[in-house]
Chain A
Amino acid sequence: MSQVYFEDVEPGYEVGPVVKNPTREQLDAFTTVWGSQTGRFTSDEAAQKEGFSGVILPGNMSMALLAQVLTEWAGPDGKLKRLECDFRRYVQPGDTLNCVGLVTDTETEDGENRVVMDVYIENQRGERALQGTALALLPNRP
């Protein structure tokens, strides 16, 4: 894995977009690990009764995909310290999700190199399914 450094980043720097395409198989594996019995995540029929065209992803699964993008970007010596997401629209298997982080501020305080970002997941219709902010900590370039 490559490492991004604090010196590489300034306001306007963009993480991604990294595309995620969650599949039905992934969703089923996820709800199995979770032990979720919630119909709208596990059964098309139950989801349709709630007005969806089929099963939807739990908000925490989409958020986990966004966390994955940010964690991989931060690299082995970086750290995702904080992630705040509002769930705005539902996500379904087969959706194309553009995961993005947009750096808004950088500062060094208490010995930490802090990178503040606006983060979001945009679907194939250009709608933001998740939106929020993140704080990542990055190492200095050696």
Chain B
Amino acid sequence: MAEQNLTDTIDFDRSVLGVDYDVGTYEVTKEKIIAYAKALGESNPLYLDEEAAKAGPYGVIIAPPLFYNMITIQAGPDPKVNFGTSGFDGGQHVEFFEPIKAGDTIHAKTQIADVYAKTGRTGTMVFTVRRTTFSNQDGEKNIVMDRINVRRDLSQ
């Protein structure tokens, strides 16, 4: 309850909470998947070898799980969190559904799922949870990803 009360005191635009915004469409090429897989030192032929992928469960090259990070999307809604002096990328929470495949057209939408404040040893921090859902041309969900931005006050 204390945390909830603390969050109530944070100045941000509550009208964007839970509202989905279209943030872009992206064509997935096999060249992009292969280059990404090679950069990570992947060895799975389903990511790298078109012939092997053809004989595999999807019939086409699939992307490694975190490939969605390569998809360029627009910034999406801005909750205008008015707190602190600096922000950092606190992490990602992701759930995987249908793999992203070569030739897919991926649609992305983003909402501000949550904004909350917490006080710990280093003072108060405000967490913004930005939830992006990636789906393919058949309407199948590929990825639901929460990206957590943390803002804190380093001036004190």
List A residues at the B interface (Cβ < 8 Å): 1, 20, 26, 29-30, 32-35, 58-61, 63-65, 67-68, 71-72, 79-87, 130, 132
Query: Which residues of the partner chain B approach A71 to less than 8 Å between Cβ atoms?
Result: 44, 64-65
Query: Which residues of the partner chain B approach A35 to less than 8 Å between Cβ atoms?
Result: 70, 72
Q: How far is the CA of A40 from the CA of B88 in the complex (A)?
A: 13
Query: Which residues of the partner chain A approach B90 to less than 8 Å between Cβ atoms?
Result: 86-87
Q: How far is the CA of A65 from the CA of B38 in the complex (A)?
A: 12
Q: How far is the CA of A18 from the CA of B35 in the complex (A)?
A: 23
From the candidates B38, B44, B64, B95, name the one contacting A64 in the complex (CB within 8 A).
B64
The 5 A-B pairs of least Cβ separation, nearest first, read: A29-B39, A86-B91, A84-B93, A64-B66, A60-B69
Query: Which residues of the partner chain A approach B40 to less than 8 Å between Cβ atoms?
Result: 26, 30, 61, 64-65, 68
Task: Kindly list 5 other residue pairs between chains A and B, CB separation below 8 angstroms, not including A32-B35, A35-B72, A67-B64.
Answer: A64-B66, A81-B96, A85-B93, A86-B90, A87-B90
Q: How far is the CA of A30 from the CA of B148 in the complex (A)?
A: 22
Decide if B69 touches A79 in the complex (CB within 8 Å). no
Decide if A63 touches B92 in the complex (CB within 8 Å). yes
From the candidates B32, B69, B96, name the one contacting A80 in the complex (CB within 8 A).
B96
Decide if B65 touches A83 in the complex (CB within 8 Å). yes
Which chain B residue shows the least CB distance to A26?
Answer: B39
Query: Which residues of the partner chain A approach B69 to less than 8 Å between Cβ atoms?
Result: 34, 58, 60, 64
Which B2-42 residues have a C-beta within 8 angstroms of A?
A: 32, 35-36, 38-42
Distance between A95 CB and nearest chain B CB, rounded to angstroms: 14
A–B pairs, 30, beta carbons within 8 Å: A26-B39, A29-B39, A30-B36, A30-B40, A32-B39, A33-B32, A33-B35, A33-B39, A35-B70, A58-B69, A59-B92, A60-B69, A64-B40, A64-B64, A64-B66, A65-B40, A67-B65, A68-B64, A71-B65, A81-B96, A82-B94, A82-B95, A82-B96, A83-B65, A83-B93, A83-B96, A84-B94, A85-B93, A86-B90, A86-B91
